[in-house]
Amino acid sequence: MVGAGAFGTALAISLASNGQPTLLWGRDAAQMGAMAKARQNAQRLAGLRFPETLEVTADITKIPLKAVILLAVPTQALRATLIQHRHILHSHMLIACCKGVERGSGLLPLEVIADVLPSVRSAILTGPSFANDIAAGLPTALTLATKDVDAKTLQTLLSTPALRLYLSDDPIGAQLGGALKNVVAIAAGIAIGAGLGDSARAALMTRGFAEMVRFAVLRGAARDTLFGLSGFGDLVLTCTSTQSRNLRYGTAIGTGQTVSETATVEGVMTAHAIIESLLTNENDATDLPITRMVSAVLKEELNMAQAIESLLSRPLRRETDLA
Ligand SMILES: NC(=O)C1=CN([C@@H]2O[C@H](COP(=O)(O)OP(=O)(O)OC[C@H]3O[C@@H](n4cnc5c(N)ncnc54)[C@H](O)[C@@H]3O)[C@@H](O)[C@H]2O)C=CC1
Ligand SMILES: O=C(CO)COP(=O)(O)O
């Protein structure tokens, strides 16, 4: 496991609890030393103890030959991680566990991997799951999306009695679902924080889902993928649970608080990355009102009243138009 934050630690606990010898690597030697000693990640998953089969290290050369490597770093840190450790990572199967779009390039995690390590085999692991739930062994279902011929072997390797992996051969759709739902969750949080009510949240979730489907299909996703765990499933979880950092972040913005979030809130950079990539392509007239609103509010180009007005003043149309 590369990346020892909440999600990397949770997946490592889950795999090790299922009897897989698992190595959890993090870049901060002092932090990894403390985790090894306490047998828990006190910063991110306090109280959830490591099984004996989980080894903790800050030495990346300890990764054994032929290991399957899960990459659980934030999307914006993925390229730097791959570049820094390419001599180790280039010969392994890489499973990206991050959800987002890279700012500057507009690329999805597997596209970043292909850009840095063109010949490497890869897959995306995504879907509705909170790190705490996985680490606690609660039932969870995720999507493992890949074009790789060994997909079934990977599915078996990474599934546990509590963590069920469903296969998909549509990595684009699976990645876009996971990336875009975070942006919609920020919008839903803004609505809740601004006191617009649960009906407004339901409207944003539904129109946000239509926006996700529209954008993903234009980028080559299969429409059905968006209706599965990695799209609709994760949208529901992230927009309705206060465990979600994206929802909490949006809620804080909606109440007018300044947010100093130390944990990863992927929807922020993803909203900017998508809108900026549309701006650089003048011919792209993709209709993304919610993503535009989120990006503009976070950049303080719109205040809350203007943002709400921008959504409410859009022309009335049939529900299924452009959906
Ligand atoms: N926390 C959760 O419940 C879930 C998280 N995810 C995804 O997992 C990814 C990681 O999120 P979390 O683990 O929650 O975030 P986190 O903020 O808890 O941890 C991120 C980790 O990445 C490390 N990191 C950052 N830059 C790095 C670099 N250049 N090299 C090596 N390590 C680096 C940090 O030190 C930190 O340990 C995100 O894309 C998130 O959307 C997916 C599903 C659930
Ligand atoms: O991706 C997640 C749930 O599937 C975690 O959501 P947050 O990043 O908003 O906490």
Q: Would residue 322 count as lying in a domain?
A: no
User: How far is Cα 198 from Cα 187, in angstroms, rounded to an integer?
Assistant: 12
Question: Residue 320's pLDDT is what?
Answer: 81
Name the band, by pLDDT with cuts 50, 70 and 90, for residue 323: low
Distance 83 CA to ligand 2 centre (A): 26
Do 148 and 182 lie in one domain? The reply is no
Question: Residue 5's pLDDT is what?
Answer: 98
Is beta strand 22-25 parallel, antiparallel or unpaired with respect to 54-57? Answer: parallel
Q: Would residue 320 count as lying in a domain?
A: no
Q: Look at the chain and report how many structural domains it folds into.
A: 2
Name the band, by pLDDT with cuts 50, 70 and 90, for residue 285: low
Provide the strand spans (E) within 63-134. 68-71, 93-96, 122-126
- Average pLDDT of the residues in 203-230: 97
Q: What's the complex ipTM?
A: 0.98
Report pLDDT digits (tens) over 258-282.
887 678 999 999 999 999 998 776 5
Do 142 and 224 lie in one domain? The reply is no
Report pLDDT digits (tens) over 167-194.
999 999 999 999 999 999 999 999 999 9
> How many angstroms from the chain centroid is the CA of residue 31?
23
pTM for the predicted model, two decimal places? 0.97
User: How far is Cα 228 from Cα 128, in angstroms, rounded to an integer?
Assistant: 10
Q: Would residue 308 count as lying in a domain?
A: yes
Distance 267 CA to ligand 2 centre (A): 10
- Average pLDDT of the residues in 245-263: 89
Q: Would residue 318 count as lying in a domain?
A: no
The one-letter code for the residue type at 280 is: T
Arithmetic mean of pLDDT over the chain: 95
133 Cβ inside 6 Å of ligand 2:
no
Quick check: 55 and 22 in contact, CB under 8 A?
Answer: yes
Quick check: 271 and 291 in contact, CB under 8 A?
Answer: yes
Q: Would residue 319 count as lying in a domain?
A: no
Question: Residue 282's pLDDT is what?
Answer: 59
Do 110 and 196 lie in one domain? The reply is no
Do 155 and 180 lie in one domain? The reply is no
* Pocket residue to mutate for ligand 1, from 1, 2, 7, most atoms within 8 A of Cβ: 7
Choosing from 128, 144, 171, the residue where a domain stops is: 171
Do 179 and 295 lie in one domain? The reply is yes
Choosing from 136, 153, 171, the residue where a domain stops is: 171
CB atoms within 10 A of CB 22: 22
Residue 307: which of 288, 317, 322, 292 has the closest Cα?
A: 292
Distance 131 CA to ligand 1 centre (A): 10
Quick check: 52 and 78 in contact, CB under 8 A?
Answer: no
Q: Would residue 321 count as lying in a domain?
A: no
Do 51 and 105 lie in one domain? The reply is yes
Domain that holds residue 219: 172-312
Question: Residue 279's pLDDT is what?
Answer: 72
Cα within 13 Å of Cα(142), Cβ side: 31
Distance 129 CA to ligand 2 centre (A): 7
Do 81 and 149 lie in one domain? The reply is yes
Question: Residue 276's pLDDT is what?
Answer: 95
Choosing from 171, 201, 231, the residue where a domain stops is: 171
Quick check: 30 and 56 in contact, CB under 8 A?
Answer: no
Per the DSSP assignment, residues forming a β-bridge with 166 are 143
Name the band, by pLDDT with cuts 50, 70 and 90, for residue 133: very high
Q: Would residue 323 count as lying in a domain?
A: no
For atom 21 of ligand 1, the residue with the nearest CA is 5
**Catalytic residue positions, numbered:** 181
User: How far is Cα 263 from Cα 261, in angstroms, rounded to an integer?
Assistant: 6
Q: What are phi and psi of 163, to 5 degrees?
A: -105, 105
For atom 5 of ligand 1, the residue with the nearest CA is 7
Do 159 and 248 lie in one domain? The reply is no
Report pLDDT digits (tens) over 159-168.
999 999 999 9
> How many angstroms from the chain centroid is the CA of residue 19?
26
> Looking at beta carbons, which pairs linking 137-144 to residues 24 or more positions away fall under 8 Å?
137/14, 137/17, 137/162, 138/162, 139/164, 140/164, 141/165, 141/166, 141/229, 141/233, 142/166, 142/229, 143/167, 143/168, 143/174, 143/228, 143/229, 143/230, 144/95, 144/168
Question: Residue 60's pLDDT is what?
Answer: 97
Do 124 and 272 lie in one domain? The reply is no
Residues 6+ apart with CB under 8 A from 139: 162, 164
pLDDT at 217 over 70: yes
Do 111 and 158 lie in one domain? The reply is yes
Give the residue carrying structure tokens 């990695």: 230
**Two tokens, residue 78:** 């993925």
The number of the ligand nearest the C-alpha atom of 233 reads 2
Residue 294: which of 181, 127, 144, 160 has the closest Cα?
A: 181
Assign residue 189 the CATH number of its domain. 1.10.1040.10
Residue 79 assigned as binding residue = no
Assign residue 31 the CATH number of its domain. 3.40.50.720
* Pocket residue to mutate for ligand 2, from 182, 268, 294, most atoms within 8 A of Cβ: 182
Q: What are phi and psi of 68, to 5 degrees?
A: -85, 130
Question: Residue 283's pLDDT is what?
Answer: 56
Report pLDDT digits (tens) over 2-20.
999 999 999 999 999 999 9
CB atoms within 10 A of CB 57: 18
Do 127 and 178 lie in one domain? The reply is no
Do 16 and 161 lie in one domain? The reply is yes
Report pLDDT digits (tens) over 293-307.
999 999 999 998 999
The number of the ligand nearest the C-alpha atom of 270 reads 1
Q: Would residue 49 count as lying in a domain?
A: yes
